[in-house]
Copies of this chain bind each other. A is one copy, B any other.
Amino acid sequence: MALLAVGSIALDSVQTPHGVVEDVLGGSATYFSYAASFFTPVRLVGVVGEDFPPEHRELLAARDIDLSGLEVVGGQTFRWRGSYEGAMNAATTLDVQLNVFGSFEPKIPAGFRDSKFVFLGNASPRLQKLVLDQLDSPELAVNDTMNFYIENERDSLVNLLGQLDGIVINDAEAVQLTGTHNLVEAGRQILAYGTKFVVIKKGEHGAVLFDGDTVFCIPAYPLDEVVDPTGAGDSFAGGMMGYLASVGKIDSKTLRKALAYGTVVASFNVQGFSLTSFQRISRADIDARFEEFETMMRF
């Protein structure tokens, strides 16, 4: 089943203890779409500037990613510059230039409006709502958000959650959104805003799913070398949503398996800068690591 992804497409400059890259392909919708494309066809809606390198476009077009919703407008592409140190748990943002993404008003192509699985990447709740309103009848609409919108557009966000089926959010955002430090309590509070499920991402510590009364915890896949954590959360969401769209179900058992796939896909992503690690693997590699992970977690 086709999966619609809306969000940022960026040129990232990143420094980690493993190296430095300049103007590489990044952005939440980019990581999400590439990750999801291992599982299902993806429809991408986003915006880039006239400076967006043709090879980046080709890299996405070579996947099962429909780029007919990718707008090219006059100006520069969204740029992010950041660095990671030590345990690389959090990025230090050194510079952000929203550029053409700053005035992005997503227009969903007519052919995308029947999308049943939808991911509203990190953007303002107002933009996310704008996307939702253009769709016919999505079966599973999930969003992500960030500290800026929790601080400045909290009511719109909480209101929007009442219209969504799920949210994928990181631990610091969950704490900020609910005012509690206990993630179990935070997850339950967010559920009360109206989504069917809540996923709290904890970076190297894994993720937690709240689905009705049940709580499911999954550790991260253990890696002895993380090259660049950029895009791990979006890759996780992409693996998760891609798997869900591929099986067309969202029952509790499928959701757990989707989190495990998200975990495995994110683990590949952080083994290289930008999409380089993804470019080396296939669905078979993901399935092999999934099996290994499942065995690894059993007690």
**Contact partners of A61 in chain B: CB under 8 A:** none
Q: Are A226's CB and B259's CB within 8 A?
A: no
- Contact of A205 with B208 in the complex, beta carbons under 8 Å: no
Asked whether A88 is an interface residue with its Cβ less than 8 Å from the other chain, the reply is: yes
Classify the interface of chain A: helix, strand, loop or mixed: mixed
B217 touches A296 (CB 8 A): yes
Bound form: Cα–Cα A185–B225 in Å: 8
Chain A 253-268 interface residues, beta-carbon cutoff 8 Å to B: 253, 256-257, 259-260
Q: From A184, which residue of chain B is reached at the shortest CB distance? A: B224
Q: CA A214 – CA B295 in complex, angstroms?
A: 11
A277 within 8 A of B: no
Does A86 make an interface contact (CB < 8 A)? yes
Closest B residue to A258 using CB positions:
B299
Query: A138: which B residues are within 8 A, CB to CB?
Result: none
Q: What are the residues of chain B within 8 A of A208 when measuring CB–CB?
A: 219, 222
Measured CA separation A218–B299 after assembly (Å): 9
State A245–B3 Cα separation when bound (angstroms): 52
Contacts of A205 in B (CB 8 A): 202, 205-206, 219
Q: Does A36 contact B (CB under 8 A)?
A: no
Contacts of A62 in B (CB 8 A): none
By the criterion CB–CB under 8 Å, are A219 and B217 in contact?
Answer: yes
Min CB–CB distance A184 → chain B (angstroms) = 4
Q: Which of B215, B217, B222, B299 contacts A184 (CB 8 A)?
A: B222
Is B224 within 8 A of A182, CB to CB? yes
Q: Residue on B with the closest CB to A260? A: B299
A223 at the interface (CB under 8 A from B): yes
Q: Which of B86, B217, B299 contacts A294 (CB 8 A)?
A: B299
CA distance A184 to B222 in the complex (A): 6
Query: For chain A residues 166-212, which have a beta carbon within 8 Å of chain B?
Result: 175, 181-185, 188, 202, 204-206, 208
List, sorted by A's number, 19 A–B pairs whose CB atoms are closer than 8 Å.
Answer: A86-B181, A87-B181, A87-B182, A88-B181, A183-B204, A183-B222, A185-B225, A202-B205, A205-B205, A214-B296, A216-B296, A217-B219, A218-B297, A218-B299, A256-B298, A256-B299, A257-B299, A259-B299, A260-B299
Q: Which 5 A-B pairs have the closest CB atoms?
A: A217-B219, A205-B205, A87-B181, A256-B299, A184-B224
